[in-house]
Amino acid sequence: MISPLASIDPAARVPDSCVVGPGCVIGAEVELGEGCRLDAHVVVQGPSRIGAHNHFYPFNSIGLDPQDLSFHGEATHLEMGDHNTVREFCTLHRGTAKGGGVTRIGSHNLIMAYSHIAHDCQVGSHVIMANCSTLGGHVEVGDWATLGAFSPVHQYVRVGTHAYLGGGTITTQDVMPFAITSEKRENHAYGPNKIGLKRQGFSPERIAALEHAFRLLLNSGLNTSQAIERIRAEALTPDTEVLIAFVESSARGVIK
């Protein structure tokens, strides 16, 4: 099911189960998995390895050169898992040699229209990027994170697992896992994303432990080190261990 108006390099790997619409261009070093769908006018260059059952809506640019002045044509890569939905006008770029050489995107992600994933980003699975959300280079996004519309994330920032980043939030520091973080007058974390966690099957006990941990981090008057010691003493669970490890490993500092 390949349109005669598509252009596919003979060296590309495109299984017979794929659908490639009119105006699509697939380069030589591209490998598509089974059941992928490229609706129309999708450009995929490489080296790129795309998993199975990914759906690319019209006018996506996938695996093109990174927007980095240090890039001089090195053989860097884009890797994507399975069952991702990439809506219109998105740009997903390959890595750079200095950044590890690979941009990685997991599985079951929804990347909405006009979003951008820059070079060397590491995006997990079950992530939602709403319209016009933008990841600068080297950004890490954990599983089940949600980025609101028009939310630019600065280079090297980490967004933790199950984090919820509000629309229009300009993010220059790490976003804590499980937290709602949003910009009103300035960026703040507002405690755990209780609604999202409930939807993902978190028990009331797990959520209560996270609520107590965030209360200590955000509202107790303790500094970060003191709050972490209290969390270890009063609310240590596997989830709060993830939270503590994230905060303690932050190079840019976390949004509190």
**Can you read off the two tokens belonging to residue 41?**
């006018």
- The yes-or-no answer on residue 137 being catalytic is yes
Q: Which of 137, 160, 166, 191 is catalytic?
A: 137
CB 91 within 8 A of CB 64: yes
Nearest residue to 108 via CA among 90, 131, 126: 126
Upper half-sphere CA count for residue 125 (Cβ side, 13 Å): 8
Instruction: Please say if 68 is a catalytic residue.
Output: no
Per-residue burial over 162-183, b = 16 or more CB atoms within 10 Å of its CB, e = otherwise? bbbbbeebebebbbbbbbbbbb
* CA 59/CA 40 separation, integer angstroms: 7
Distance (Å) of CA 139 to CA 32, 156, 157, 248: 25, 5, 5, 18
- Which SS3 state, helix, strand or coil, does residue 115 take? coil
Catalytic residue, from 119, 126, 138, 162: name it: 119
Q: Judge whether 16 counts as a catalytic residue.
A: no
- Residue among 27, 41, 46, 120 flagged as catalytic: 120
Distance, CA of 236 to CA of 242 (rounded, Å) = 10
Give me the residues paired with residue 171 across strands.
153
Q: Order across the sheet with 61-64: list the strands.
A: 7-8, 25-26, 43-44, 61-64, 91-93, 116-117, 134-135, 152-153
Residues with catalytic roles = 119-120, 137
